[in-house]
Amino acid sequence: MAEASLHIIPDHTYSAVDLYIQENGEWRFSWTQIKKNKSELLFAKTALNQDRETFLNALKSVHPIYLFISGKGIISKLLKKEENENRVLEQLLPGSQRKLFFLESYVEEHKGIYSIIRQDVLDQIISFFKNEAFRLIDFSINPGQLTSLSSLMKEEPVLANRTHQIHLQNGRIDSLEKSTSTREYSMGEDTFSSDCSSSLALGIKNLLFNEKAQEEHEEVLAFRKEEQFRNWMQKGAMAAVIALLLAVGTNYFVQEHYAKKHQQLYSFDNVHRDNMKEVESLSKRIELKKSLIQSAGIDQVHSYSFYADQLAADLPKQIVLTQMFLSPVQKKLKANKEIEHQRDEIVIRGKIRDEQYFDEWIESLEKMDWVARVNVQAFAYSSREKTNDFHVKIKVDAS
């Protein structure tokens, strides 16, 4: 590991971000801002375990970041040094396809820490930061990056982050285990949590030991100038595009409005014509029904159902009705001849044993306000049934 050189990069602020994928798939963010000047490295601000919305509100995208990803879906193992990526992948996740995974390694002489994550998950994470206009300097999924802290931590034998802990022997990796506890590290007067130790190690490695750090810093500055120019151009171009779209859109909506009106009127005209045809058809049917009702004599103020109800209500229990004809047919029915009814007339036939009750019933009928007159057409004794058979015609008052 090269000697630390604290004057490679001019004054600048970077952010080290640890993204932890929880078991339920949600993301949690821990981060530390590193303020670098010509003589020292300072921790400007630290935040732990934030959700996505809090993270975006707290950490503005003006600073470039170093990103470390850990948690669900990431597999890391200490293996013998292996050049063949397919054989490495088979040891990490047997039966997996190389094209579906991103593979990262941290190798020391005869062994190394190898880590994988699904490529689609990594793409989603990188897209998130790019869409939020963050400038990613570097990212990692390999806990081997923690060894970048070892010289600054006075060669501590154990270095840990949220998910893993690395045991060192003589400054080199001895074993890799699951992290058993969280801890804090000290660097000068500053402290930082193990939750953001991996990203911090990644950032320090680039800031202090990477010969390309100066080039990356210049890329950041060039990126910002380009971004400012692009934003200025986009605003001007956007204004022109909006004006054009407004003109085109207005013309389109006006044309669309009149086209819809024309279609509505055309449809209304067709519907109106169909409705008129339906009205004519219904009118003819109504006239035909009126004619039938008038010929049947049931178009009076009182309906025959009313008369029948009155007759049934006043009928003595000693009388048994056998027939009732409302507006009876005048003649026998003949083919192709109109049916003629005797309007305003009711014909009743029935049986009674005691003619006294019959006389009283006839008197009650004559008192009904809708009865014009009652004619007894027949009254004869039946020796076989021992009853009197009667035939009565009631003339309805149609006035």
B/e letters for 286-308, b = 16+ CB within 10 Å, e = fewer, are eeeeeeeeeeebbebeeebeebe
94-129 pLDDT tens trace: 999 999 999 999 998 889 999 999 999 999 999 998
Q: In the prediction, which pLDDT does 124 show?
A: 94
DSSP, collapsed to helix, strand or coil, labels residue 233 as helix
Q: In the prediction, which pLDDT does 276 show?
A: 78
Gyration radius (Cα) of the chain, Å: 51
Backbone dihedral angles phi then psi of residue 3, each to the nearest 5 degrees? -70, 145
DSSP characters over 260-292? HHHHHHHHHHHHHHHHHHHHHHHHHHHHHHHHH
Q: In the prediction, which pLDDT does 302 show?
A: 54
DSSP, collapsed to helix, strand or coil, labels residue 156 as coil
Q: In the prediction, which pLDDT does 5 show?
A: 30
Backbone dihedral angles phi then psi of residue 118, each to the nearest 5 degrees? -60, 140
Write down the pTM of the prediction: 0.52
Q: In the prediction, which pLDDT does 120 show?
A: 94
Separation CA 77–CA 67 (nearest Å): 20
Separation CA 71–CA 73 (nearest Å): 6
Task: Flag residues of the chain having pLDDT under 50.
Answer: 1-10, 211, 301
Q: How many residues make up the chain in this entry? A: 399
The letter for the amino acid at 296 is A
Q: Where are the beta strands (DSSP E) in 142-183?
A: 158-160, 164-169, 172-178
Contacts of residues 125-132 at CB distance under 8 Å and 24 or more positions apart, as own/partner, are 125/19, 125/67, 125/69, 129/65, 129/67, 132/56, 132/61
C-alpha pair distances (Å), 338 with each of 326, 328, 331: 18, 14, 10
Q: In the prediction, which pLDDT does 128 show?
A: 92
Closest CA to 379 of 390, 393, 369: 390
The letter for the amino acid at 342 is Q
CB-CB contact of 21 with 51 (8 Å) = no
Backbone conformation region of residue 35, classed left if phi is above 0, alpha if psi is from -120 to 50, else beta: beta
Q: Which two tokens stand for residue 111?
A: 């062994």
CB-CB contact of 137 with 17 (8 Å) = no
